[in-house]
């Protein structure tokens, strides 16, 4: 018996039947003697439909009004879910972000939660009510509605779990949990029972798309026990926690692929101090996120710098570089948006130098060329041709998971 926060995404509440299913999961948890706070996203495509409506009226609408508009999506799904729970005979109350005390900064469209004032939720829990809270939204100090941006509902759930000192935060989704690789494309992908926050963070950042990294960071910071599981099967999913028990031999917990990368190479840069600083501070000022960076010696007192950015940022990068060409003196720019980043992640990697070599071996065996390499304490990423990406993941996965590990 304890306090459990349960989060349900848009697919889990897409229609009346699925809302009834979510209501069943919540009431079963409640009837086992737990206090339950459920955080819901908007139904299925609601948010996209609202964005389309807004675009018809004003493609450059202010973020404040976009937030006021979009926040209705979760209010609808939460009220409907509360009604479904009423029909199952349990006491319940739905609360919007402002009612639930979710206070954010004033950055409309991508607000950060500053504080959760749990008074109202606690009062409802004390009255033995199930509490349904709108995900993805809060209220700023001016009393305006804000939304949290991508992955916002996961973040709402973890923030509420932290503020309420919940025993567990369950993230219900449309997959069974966190896998060693994407089970839709990699044969033999295995469900992980446990994973550390840090590994999950690398996987979230690397495009595993199970949990948004903001929510994992928050869970790590407040030591919130997370579980990722399916709202359709009811089976146990993956626990995300600080330290996990794991067999000594298994150094890699997952393999992720990110097909949204492009590589830019600046060839023949004049070799003078501060050149890298100039380039990357200029890109940072424009809000462009640079991922892998690689610098190599060129010929005749020049050097080359290569880096990757999201495909969506490519045009902005090109224009920033062209505009400032005079201050850089590079020879030419080489752009390749036909690449993908494949990464292995594992907390045990740091003490096992053989892991990276094994990854390269798998790619060599599959005859896949590596364009760039980047490593951190718990991951190794390589850039390969986009059309080789799936085969790369499969061959690496086969190497680490489908046969006995023997290093």
Please give the residue ranges that form the binding site for a copy of itself (CB under 8 A).
16, 19-20, 50, 53-54, 56-58, 60-62, 64-66, 68-69, 71-72, 75-76, 78-80, 82-84, 86-87, 93-94, 96, 98-99, 120, 143-145
What minimum distance in Å lies between the beta carbon of 23 and a copy of itself?
8
By C-beta, is 60 or 184 nearer to a copy of itself?
A: 60
Beta-sheet strand order (sheet of 137-139):
113-116, 102-104, 137-139, 145-147
By C-beta, is 72 or 402 nearer to a copy of itself?
A: 72
Q: How far apart are CA 160 and CA 178, in angstroms?
A: 22
**Residue from 321, 318, 317, 338 nearest 330 by CA:** 321
By C-beta, is 42 or 265 nearer to a copy of itself?
A: 42
What minimum distance in Å lies between the beta carbon of 92 and a copy of itself?
8
By C-beta, is 54 or 314 nearer to a copy of itself?
A: 54
What minimum distance in Å lies between the beta carbon of 84 and a copy of itself?
5
By C-beta, is 99 or 302 nearer to a copy of itself?
A: 99
What minimum distance in Å lies between the beta carbon of 174 and a copy of itself?
20
**168-196: b (≥16 Cβ within 10 Å) or e:** bbbbbbebbbbbbbbeeebeebebbebbb
Q: Is 356 exposed, middle or buried (0-12, 13-18, 19+ CB in 10 A)?
A: middle
Q: Could you write out the DSSP letters of every residue in 325-393? A: HHHH--SEEEEE-SEEEEEEE-GGGGG-THHHHHHHHHHHHTT----EEEEETTEEEEEEEGGGHHHHH
Whether the CA torsion 96, 92, 33, 193 is positive or negative: it is negative
What minimum distance in Å lies between the beta carbon of 103 and a copy of itself?
14
By C-beta, is 67 or 388 nearer to a copy of itself?
A: 67
Given a contact cutoff of 8 angstroms between Cβ atoms, the answer to whether 327 and 278 are in contact is yes
What minimum distance in Å lies between the beta carbon of 17 and a copy of itself?
9
């Amino acid at each position: 018996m304890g306090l459990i926060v349960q989060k349900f995404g848009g697919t889990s509440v897409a229609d009346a039947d699925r809302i009834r299913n979510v209501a069943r999961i919540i009431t079963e948890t409640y009837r086992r003697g737990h206090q339950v706070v459920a955080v819901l996203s908007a139904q299925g495509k609601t948010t996209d439909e609202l964005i389309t409506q807004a675009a018809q009226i004003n493609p450059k609408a202010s973020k404040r009004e976009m937030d006021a508009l979009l926040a209705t999506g979760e209010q609808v799904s939460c009220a409907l879910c509360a009604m479904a729970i009423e029909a199952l005979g349990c006491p319940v109350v739905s609360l919007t972000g402002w009612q639930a005390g979710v206070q954010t900064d004033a950055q409309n469209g991508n607000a950060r939660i500053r504080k959760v004032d749990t008074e109202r939720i606690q009062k409802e829990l004390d009255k033995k009510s199930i509490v349904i809270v709108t995900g993805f939204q809060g209220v700023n100090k001016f009393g305006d509605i804000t939304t949290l941006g991508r992955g916002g509902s996961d973040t709402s759930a973890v923030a509420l779990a932290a503020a309420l000192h919940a025993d567990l935060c369950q993230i219900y989704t449309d997959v069974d949990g966190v896998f060693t690789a994407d089970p839709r494309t990699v044969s033999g992908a295995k469900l992980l029972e446990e994973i550390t926050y840090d590994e999950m963070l690398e996987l979230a950042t690397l495009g595993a798309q199970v949990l948004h990294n903001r929510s994992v960071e928050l869970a790590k910071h407040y030591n919130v026990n997370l579980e990722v599981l399916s709202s359709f099967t009811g089976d146990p999913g993956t626990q995300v926690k600080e330290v996990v028990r794991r067999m000594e031999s298994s150094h890699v917990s997952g393999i992720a692929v990110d097909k949204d990368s492009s590589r830019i190479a600046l060839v023949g840069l004049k070799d003078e101090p501060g050149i890298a600083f100039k380039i990357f501070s200029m890109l940072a000022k424009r809000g462009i996120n640079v991922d892998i960076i690689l610098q190599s010696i060129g010929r005749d007192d020049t050097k080359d710098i290569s880096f990757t950015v999201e495909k969506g940022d490519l045009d902005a990068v090109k224009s920033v570089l062209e505009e400032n060409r005079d201050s850089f003196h590079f020879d030419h720019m080489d752009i390749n948006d036909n690449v993908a980043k494949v990464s292995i992640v594992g907390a045990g990697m740091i003490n096992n130098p053989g892991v990276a070599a094994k990854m390269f071996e798998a790619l060599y065996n599959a005859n896949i060329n590596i364009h760039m390499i980047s490593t951190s304490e718990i991951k190794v990423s390589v850039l390969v041709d986009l059309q080789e990406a799936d085969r790369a993941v499969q061959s690496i996965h086969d190497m680490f998971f489908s046969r006995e590990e023997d290093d």
